[in-house]
Amino acid sequence: MTCAGTTLTIVPALRSYTPVLMAQPLPWWADRLVIPVVFALVGASIAFGTSQVTGWLDRRRAKRAFLRAIRLELLSLQEQLQASLDEVEASTERLRRNVAAPPQLVGTIRNTVFTSQLGKISDLSDPLVMEITKLYSDLPVLTQIIEVLNQHSRELPKDDGSAQLAQRIRGVLSIVTALSVKLKGFLAVISGLVARLPE
C-alpha cells in the first residue's frame, strides 16, 4: 500500500498454533480389564469405609443406650440398697439392746438390664464399662451375706436359754455390722458411677 510516496507493507500477525492431540483409543486390555478393576476397587473402598463408619456409629449408639439404661438400673438399685441399709441400721440398734429382732431382707439384687444388655456391647475394655462390670460382679457378696443373716435370724427365736440367745444375738449383730459396711461401700460406688453415666 502506498501513501504519499511511502510504501507500507502489512505483515500478518503471527499466530501461535498449538498442536491438536488426537484422541487415541485405549488398548483393549485397559478398556476391558483395568477400568473395571479400578471402578470395582473404588466401589469396594467406599462400601468398606461406609460400613466401618456405620458400624462405629451403631456401636457408639448401643454403648450410650447401655450406659443410660444402667444408670436407671443403678438408681433403682441405690434405692433398694438404701432401704436395706436403713433396715439394717435400725435392727443394729435393737440387737445392741439384746432385742431379738433381726432385719428382714430379700436377697435379690436388681441386675436385669446389666445381664440382658452387656452382650450388646462390643468394647468391654472401656474403663467405665469395666467399673460397671466389676460392681455387678461384686454384688453377689451381698446376696451371700443376706443368706447367712437370714439363716441365723431363723435360729434366733429358739427358746433354749438366755445365754444361748445372747450368743445368737451377738452372732447376728456381727453379720448385720458386716452387711452395713458392705452396703455403705456399694452405695458409695453406685453414687460415683451414676454421676458419670449419661442421663
Could you report the per-residue pLDDT of 82-124, keeping only the tens digit for each? 999 999 999 888 888 888 888 888 778 888 888 888 877 777 7
Confidence (pLDDT) at 159: 67
Ramachandran region, residue 153 (left: φ > 0; alpha: ψ -120 to 50; beta: rest): alpha
Amino acid at 50: T
Cα torsion at 96, 97, 101, 104 (round to 10°)?
-40
Distances (CA, A) of 161 to 66, 143, 156, 164, 167: 54, 31, 11, 6, 10
pLDDT score of 1 more than 80 = no
CA distance 9 to 192: 99
Cell numbers describing residue 94: 435393737
Helices 140-155 & 127-138 angle (0-180, nearest 10):
20
| Tens digit of each residue's pLDDT (9 = 90 or more) over 29-74 | 766 777 778 888 888 888 888 888 887 777 788 888 889 999 999 9
Confidence (pLDDT) at 2: 47
Let me know: does 128 contact 196? Beta carbons within 8 Å.
yes
CA distance 155 to 7: 140
